[in-house]
Amino acid sequence: MRPQIKYPGSLKRALNYNEKKVQSGKAVLLDAVNFLKRPHELNIHDKLNRFQKLMDLSEADTKLIHLSLNFHPSEKEKLTPEFLKTLSQEYMEKLGFGNQPFLVYQHFDAGHPHVHIVSTLIRDDGTRINTHNQAKEISEPVRKEMEEKYGLIKADKKENAIERTEALRVSSERVKYGKSETLRSITNVLDDVIDKYKYTSLHELNALLKSYNVMADRGAEGSRVYRNKGLYYRVLDENGHKQGKQIKASDIYSKPTLEYLEKRFKENKLARAQDKKHFTTAIDWHIKQKQGSLQGLKDALKKQSITMEVRRTEAGFVYGLTFISHDKKAVFNGSDLGTGYSAKSILERLGVEQEKPLAKENNKEQAQTKGKDQDKENSPAKQQAAQSPDKSKSNSPMPSSSNSQKTAIAAHEKETIRPEELHKNGNLMQELSGQQSGAEAMDINLKKDEEHHRKRRDQSLER
């Protein structure tokens, strides 16, 4: 069982979030505790007024609580409506809300069973229920106690982290059903990620969201959305391509806007510092086991609930690694873990060459072709032809081999460029420009030599 607690600022928004799902058949109102009517007799005004009367007794800034109890997908059969009501009531009572009015909604729009509970923090005497460290000091002990009592799958069990990601992953099939289905799918993922994981940039967040086939998108740099610090969320297909309708961050209930995320970036930078050792120890251990490849390291880390995202250029070169621990709920770029954990360093430690396989094959073919050409040049027939004073051939221009030599040099140098060399010397255009200039200079020198020989020959004939 995995509780998730939030403290929304708007009562209407909290209720509408659940009521709209009831209207669309994606949820039902299971229970209404400490209300004057039965659940099926309540209308929206009854619900609003019951909470609002208590909230009006206090001037506190935070007056609401909206939480969810999430269960493992394999427990779906035993989680009957009556059992869910029992679990919800016991959890709320142990959390200190036994005398408070609260509504329990069962949702059906995710890959795992879960309920949402809405209540108020204001008691009937106007005092407020203390929420300081509520999740850690009260909810966690209650969760563990109830897991033991009812035989529920434990939320801190390591092997559940990857399984949960798989259960929440957005299927590309859902996108076919339009914006509302896409919104629900993305919301389920963000509810499980945004406030739970420690990431310090949009790039790190997207590495995490990629596991769920979701991405946060600022739009093209310089676009109106980008300039105004807007943010969309998109569904990705299995190949990482955007599809379906984009969803504004402001349209999502939890409001995971760029402004909100930037606050999380700052908070998470300090919060995740203590998790660094967890990553480096795991990576060091598996590299010592001589995995021999990036895929081998990735598979080994997955067994420890660590996901390794590999970033490649369009040409296939590895230029970055991001590590995600589902146990520690932390995300790190390899370079942030230390100098020995960047993509280049990891490849070196694994003994893996950073070179595109296609380039190796091209170089091998060029070497074979060059060898064959050299054999032809050294053949007796070639040597005899070279010694024959054929004037018609002597009048033909020499650069017949110049262009092929220039092309071979440029092609060879282009294929053997490595990403790290490109980073050291600037950008790709500068590198290729330098190669082209060198080849052109060679061509010009050859042409000058030919012109010089031609003039000397003409002068000799005139004499």
pLDDT at 388: 47
Residue 325 · residue 278 · CB < 8 Å: yes
Eight-class DSSP state of 179:
H
Residue 254 · residue 6 · CB < 8 Å: yes
Q: Helix, strand or coil for residue 265?
A: helix
| Structure-block tokens of residue 446 | 């050859």
**Statement: residue 423 has pLDDT above 50:** no
**CATH code of domain 2-157:** 3.30.930.30
pLDDT at 455: 59
Query: Residues with Cβ < 8 Å from 272, sequence gap 6 or more?
Result: 198, 200, 328, 330, 331, 332
Q: 319 or 460: which carries more pLDDT confidence?
A: 319
Task: State the burial class of residue 229 (Cβ atoms within 10 Å of its Cβ: 0-12, 13-18, 19+).
Answer: exposed
The amino acid that residue 259 corresponds to is E
**Statement: residue 238 has pLDDT above 60:** yes
- Stretch 61-78: mean pLDDT: 90
**Average pLDDT for the chain:** 79
Note the pLDDT tens digit of each residue in 118-153. 999 999 999 999 988 887 889 999 999 999 999 998
**Domain spans, the chain:** 2-157, 166-271, 274-350, 357-462
How is 345-384 classified by DSSP, letter by letter? Answer: HHHHHHT-----HHHHHHHHHHHHHHHHHHHHHTSHHHHH
Comparing C-alpha atoms, which of 347, 367, 345 is closest to residue 355?
A: 347
Comparing C-alpha atoms, which of 70, 288, 297 is closest to residue 193?
A: 70
**Statement: residue 113 has pLDDT above 50:** yes
Note the pLDDT tens digit of each residue in 168-198. 555 545 454 456 677 878 888 898 889 889 9
Note the pLDDT tens digit of each residue in 249-308. 998 878 899 999 999 999 999 999 999 999 999 999 999 987 778 999 999 999 889 999
Q: How many CB atoms sit inside 10 A of residue 158's CB? A: 12
Query: Percent of the chain scored above 70 by pLDDT?
Result: 70
Counting Cα atoms < 13 Å in the Cβ hemisphere of 428 gives: 8
Residue 446 · residue 399 · CB < 8 Å: yes
Q: Enumerate the β-bridge partners of residue 382.
A: none
